[in-house]
Amino acid sequence: MTDSGKQKHDGTTHFGYRDVPEKEKEGLVAGVFHSVASSYDVMNDLMSMGVHRLWKRFTIELSAVRPGHAVLDIAGGTGDLARQFSRIVGDKGRVVLADINESMLRVGRDKLIDQGIVGNMEFVQANAECLPFPDNTFDCITISFGLRNVTDKDAALRSMCRVLKPGGRLLILEFSKTNNPLLTKAYDAYSFSLLPMMGKLVAGDSESYQYLAESIRMHPDQETLEGMMKDAGFVNTVYHNMTGGIVALHKGVKP
């Protein structure tokens, strides 16, 4: 099953494979992440066998972030990217870790404070569809494994473009589509059998990980998402497939 990425026109949207009223999705997604917040890091390592660290490292490299830059990490969760950006931008830079989910934001904040990363960090509870920042604020915006949970992705992309400085970069790291039939078959078996089972054993919650597997399948494919970025005003768009297209990193620039 795939999703064009565009808003449905009947007042509903996707929550995994279910159609739900648009106004209810935010609360449903919040419930998922309230449930998994405390075990999120452990599950990330288990689910990806640690490979998510390589995907995020490539994101950092492609960001071209430099000392003194202002960076916004949307759906920043437990702070993996924000921690690295904080070290790069230094004392004169600024990193904002934003997440719509209070539980995830609290886990990320506590984790970074425990690691001594506080001087140039800010923590903001924010909805990606209507970011609470002035126009032309950030040199770089990242959103890692979060866009598929946003109700109105087009509105979120426009909002991100608005708060970027001209010449600023948006990087979207997200699960995507593989065109390899054997890999797709193996990935489906893993996602819908092993993933919920791991969720039950480690996080005590199989339903949330069932939703996460479904949400990956409903997310726009690489070409569709690139088109959405262009529609939102981004130029020089490009994407890089990783791990056979299971994950893709999209980049766009604000003109």
How crowded is residue 52: how many other Cβ atoms within 10 Å of its Cβ?
A: 19
pLDDT at 146: 92
Q: Determine, yes or no, domain membership for 187.
A: no
Give the C-alpha separation, 183 to 209, whole Å: 20
Does 232 count as an annotated binding residue? no
> Where in the sequence is the domain holding 127, given as residue range(s)?
12-179+209-253
Q: Which residues pair with 239 in a beta bridge?
A: 250
Residue 31 corresponds to which tokens in the numbers above? 């419930």
Does 128 count as an annotated binding residue? yes
3 pLDDT band (50/70/90 cuts)? very low
Q: Determine, yes or no, domain membership for 40.
A: yes
Provide DSSP, 45-59: HHHHTTTHHHHHHHH
Q: Determine, yes or no, domain membership for 5.
A: no
Give the C-alpha separation, 235 to 232, whole Å: 9
Does 127 count as an annotated binding residue? yes
Query: Which strands, in side-by-side order, build the sheet including 138-144?
Result: 121-125, 94-99, 70-74, 138-144, 164-175, 247-253, 235-242
pLDDT at 14: 81
Q: Determine, yes or no, domain membership for 101.
A: yes
pLDDT in tens, 56-106: 999 999 999 999 999 999 999 889 999 999 999 999 999 999 999 998 899
How big is the chain by its Cα radius of gyration, in Å?
17
Does 44 count as an annotated binding residue? no
Q: Determine, yes or no, domain membership for 81.
A: yes
Give the C-alpha separation, 202 to 172, whole Å: 28
pLDDT at 5: 47
Strands 70-74 and 94-99 turn out to be parallel
Of 49-53, 81-85, 239-243, the range with the lowest mean pLDDT is 49-53
Residue 68 corresponds to which tokens in the numbers above? 């003194």
18 pLDDT band (50/70/90 cuts)? confident
28 pLDDT band (50/70/90 cuts)? low
**Count of domains for the chain:** 1
Contact 156, 219 (CB under 8 A): no
Mean pLDDT of 135-139: 98
Q: Determine, yes or no, domain membership for 199.
A: no
Q: Determine, yes or no, domain membership for 96.
A: yes
- Calculate what percentage of the chain has a pLDDT beyond 70: 85
Amino acid residing at 21: P
Name the residue among 51, 39, 253, 3 with its Cα closest to residue 150: 3
Report the predicted TM-score, pTM, of the whole model to 2 decimal places. 0.86
Of 2-6, 130-134, 195-199, the range with the lowest mean pLDDT is 2-6
Q: Determine, yes or no, domain membership for 197.
A: no
4 pLDDT band (50/70/90 cuts)? very low
- Here the CATH number for the domain that contains residue 141 is 3.40.50.150
Residue 46 pLDDT exceeds 70: no
pLDDT at 56: 94
pLDDT, greater one: 226 or 48: 226
Mean pLDDT of 145-156: 94
Does 101 count as an annotated binding residue? no
Residue 39 pLDDT exceeds 80: no
